[in-house]
Structure 1
Amino acid sequence: MEIKKIFNNNVALTEDLQHTEMVVMGKGIAFQKKKGDQIDANKIEKTFMAPSVHFANKLSELMNEIPYEIMVISKDIIDMAASDLHTEFNDSLYLSLADHIYFTIRRSKDGLPVTNALTWEVKKFYKEEYQAACKALNLIEKRTGDRLPSDEAASIALHLFNARQDGSKMEETMRMTNIVNEVTTIVKYHFGIEFDEDSMNYSRFITHLRYFAYRMLRRERNDDDNESLFKQVRIQYPEAYECTRKVQEYLSRQYQMEMTKDEMTYFMIHVHRVSNRETN
Structure 2
Amino acid sequence: MVEVKKVLNNNVVITIDPSYKEVILIGKGIGFNKKVGQTINADAAEKVFRLEDQKEQDKYKQLLPYLDEDFITFMHDVLSLIESKMGKIINEHIHIGLTDHIAFAIKRAREGIYIKNPFLVETEALYHQEYKVAKDIVAMIQKYSGVDLPEGEIGMIALHIHSSVTDRNLSELNQYSKLVFHLIQMIEEGLEIKLDRDSINYYRLVQHIRHAIERAKSGSYTKDQAILANVLKKEYPLCYNLAWKIVKVMQKTIQKPVDESEVVYLTIHLQRLLD
TM-score, structure 2 as length reference: 0.78
Identity rate of aligned residues, in percent? 19
| 1:186-225 deviation digits (Å, cap 9, x = unpaired) | 34444555368654x7656534533554676xxx564x97
| 1:105-142 deviation digits (Å, cap 9, x = unpaired) | 12222232343333343234333322222211111111
Runs of at least 5 residues in structure 1 that lack an aligned partner in the other structure: none
Match runs of 1:227-266 below 5 Å: 229-238=224-233, 239=236, 241-251=240-250, 255=253, 257=255, 259-261=257-259, 264-266=260-262
1:24 aligned counterpart, secondary structure: strand
Asked whether the equivalents of residues 4 and 35 of structure 1 are also in contact (C-alpha less than 8 Å), the reply is yes
Q: Which amino acid aligns with 1:184?
A: I
C-alpha distance in 1 between matches for 2:215 and 2:256: 11
Residue 45 (1) aligns with residue 47 (2): yes
Q: Which amino acid aligns with 1:268?
A: V
Q: Equivalent residue for 2:106?
A: 105
| 1:50-70 deviation digits (Å, cap 9, x = unpaired) | x23322222222110011222
C-alpha distance in 2 between matches for 1:4 and 1:126: 41
Asked whether the equivalents of residues 11 and 60 of structure 1 are also in contact (C-alpha less than 8 Å), the reply is no
Closer, same or farther: CA 8–121 of 1 in aligned 2, 3 Å = same
Closer, same or farther: CA 6–187 of 1 in aligned 2, 3 Å = same
Asked whether the equivalents of residues 248 and 258 of structure 1 are also in contact (C-alpha less than 8 Å), the reply is no
Match for residue 270 of structure 2 among 259, 262, 275? 275
RMSD: 3.4
Q: Which amino acid aligns with 1:23?
A: V
Q: Which amino acid aligns with 2:172?
A: E
Q: CA deviation at 1:42?
A: 3.2
Match runs of 1:1-280 below 5 Å: 1-3=1-3, 5-6=5-6, 8-9=8-9, 10-16=12-18, 19=19, 21=21, 23-27=23-27, 28-31=29-32, 32-35=34-37, 37-49=39-51, 51-86=52-87, 88-168=89-169, 170-191=170-191, 194=195, 199=200, 203=203, 205-210=205-210, 212-213=212-213, 220=217, 222=219, 229-238=224-233, 239=236, 241-251=240-250, 255=253, 257=255, 259-261=257-259, 264-266=260-262, 268-269=264-265, 271-272=267-268, 274-275=269-270, 277-280=272-275
